[in-house]
Amino acid sequence: MALDYRKCAEEIAANIGGGENVVSAAHCATRLRLVIADNDKLNKKALEDIDGVQGMFESGGQLQLIIGTGTVNKVYDEFLAVTGASAASKEDVKAAAAAQAPLWRRIIKALGDVFVPILPAIVSCGLMMGLMEALSNAIPGFGDTDWYGFLHLIAVAAIAYLPILVGISAARVFGANIFLGATLGIAMLDPSLLNAWNVGSPDAINAFFGVTDGKIPTWDILFFHVQRHGYQGHIIPVIIAVFIMAQIETWLHKHVPEMIDLFVTPLCTILATYFLTFTIIGPIFSALETVILSFFSALVTVGFGIGALACGAIYPFTVVMGLHHMFNIIELGMLAQDGGNGLNTWMPIASSANFAQFAACLAVGIKSHRTKTKAIAVPASMSAALGITEPAIFGVNLRYLKPLVCGSIGGAIGAMSGSIMGVAARANGVTGIPGYLIVTNPVTYTIMLAIAFGVAFALAFITHKDEEDETAAPDERAVEVEENVPNETKKAAEQAAAKAVELDKLAPVIKASKSTNLEIVAPITGEVVDYTEIPDGAFASGALGNGVGIKPDTETVVSPFDGEIVSVVDSKHAVGIAGENGVELLIHVGIDTVQMNGDGFECYVGMGDKVKKGDKLVSFSRDKIAAAGYSDMVVVLVTNSFEFDEVASITK
């Protein structure tokens, strides 16, 4: 029976509090994406029971209702008609969701958005510092050579001029002109100002200003006495100043006549911002930043590693809450000490905590009797070993809770041992195994990771038990079924494959069992994984059907069988195909690549087109997907899996 799209839309509207409770609405290939004003008005149980809604979850401030390819766009049109909401792009929904978040979460997200783009510069400089130290230890007198001076220039660049990098990145995040952000950072480092690292040295003050009392001269501006020193190594004052600059610039753009906006707005913006920065923002927030930095620096080493123990214990919970990006300020502040030659003593805490979560997740994967749990836990743990803990924490440890706690305990003990041994790093941005690239002592770092791993793994292995209703589940079948395909079907498949050169390398990846067993070949070459390993909650849950994920090694998707195109999304990253054999297949390139709005994608088919096995459907740029920060995994799902006795992946 066909879905009543109007009824589905009306029931959704009724159970979300009506159209007045909708901030923004959009859809992708499979989901209705909504931003809700008041979540207390949601009837989640009723939403899940609506005919046509295959699943529901909340992510990034969005309510996402899984409806399915070829159907979601029709329900979406009816939803707009029922609620009176305006159609929005995926970017509009994303922005609206961010605006709905609590203030503290928006602040933390903004900090993450500022620091993440500049981490490669910080890490590369840290690696250069490590190389210089290694060469100095291996070659006597290397520190006095021209090569050392040249490499040192590179090694300290990012830290010495950090306010400029932060100014540019913050301007991009807050919507200000990035070049105004850069000039603000430059002004705070102007050579006419005393270097901030020399503020506490009377000799340096006397030599720089030609005075004898060891006091920094001031500029008397109105009733302010501005001390003539720079802000090397400071981060918070730059961020606050650029945020205020963005507000001033935006206001001026709205009120200054267009005829003179080009030169009046930038001039007034920098004049107002510079005045506020050097009279109020700089003095207040640099002092505040110094207090915060001193507190955390002391906490890391206090009481025989007790402070590090506490920090290591709570760190994974800050990841769960999305607060861990705030620690970038602490790490960069540590590195900026001592003329840009400071050491990062917070990195060992984060690294120990992350490595312990890797151990706990791996223990679950090894001990579990469930194939599905193993398939999720083991790859997620490998990612955590490289410092990317979200798959392990959200996919496994938080779900079972005990592994998260065991990892917290292991991370705490590892962090304490690292503090006692004096483990430190020359940069930030990487933890776990990649952390070897930036640590000062690989031996003590290894001992710290071994302690964190051993404690967390042992505790998690002892305490983890499979859920009773999931242990040795009777419905858990082998990924392959015995082949029982008539000779005529085999012959037809072989003839179709011979017609397309591209299909020579494409192996069967899905078997759908009905009256016969149907094999579906991959639409692209690459490593095949079960759909439960797809790094997206909706796809991995099976709500959209069973199938596979493919980590592609090429950039062209072809049709896996003869059929008709039943859906094509505007962003060109997903198509739906219906075959004569009754199979309805969704091919979705990338995870969350709907946010790219078609950039890097080319679609060669339209709704209603007839395609042959091997016909080109979509091409895409893996580099652009990676640059945008998304996974390029190609999702292949049988969306009408419920019509078959079994749909199983062939991943061998």
Convert 18-45 into a string of H (helix), E (strand) and C (coil): CHHHEEEEEECCCEEEEEECCHHHCCHH
Q: Pick from 511, 506, 507: which is nearest to 484 by CA?
A: 511
Output DSSP code: residue 229. Answer: B
Asked if residues 35 and 61 have their Cβ atoms less than 8 Å apart, the reply is yes
Task: Read off the amino acid at residue 632.
Answer: D
Buried b (16+ CB within 10 A) or exposed e, 412-450: bbbbbbbbebebbbbbbbbbbeebebbbbeeebbebbbe
Assigned token pair, 190: 């102007």
Assigned token pair, 186: 């430059």
Active-site residue, from 27, 464, 573, 588: 588
406 catalytic per annotation: no
Assigned token pair, 265: 């707005």
Q: Pick from 198, 221, 233, 313: which is nearest to 275 by CA?
A: 221
Q: Pick from 22, 29, 40: which is nearest to 93 by CA?
A: 22
CA distances from 219 to 185, 324, 590 (A): 19, 39, 56
Backbone angles phi, psi at 557, to 5 degrees: -100, 130
3-state secondary structure of 278: helix
Cα 526–chain centre separation: 23
3-state secondary structure of 271: helix
For the chain, counts of helices (H) and of strands (E): 26, 19
The contacts of residue 409 (CB under 8 Å, 6+ apart) are: 313, 356, 455, 456, 459
588 catalytic per annotation: yes
Tell me the C-alpha distance between 87 and 570, whole Å: 13
Active-site residue, from 28, 125, 311, 406: 28
The contacts of residue 161 (CB under 8 Å, 6+ apart) are: 185, 189
Assigned token pair, 472: 């040795």
Assigned token pair, 76: 């979406």
Burial of 17 (0-12, 13-18, 19+ CB in 10 A): middle
Tell me the C-alpha distance between 567 and 598, whole Å: 15
Question: Which sequence positions are flagged as catalytic?
Answer: 28, 588
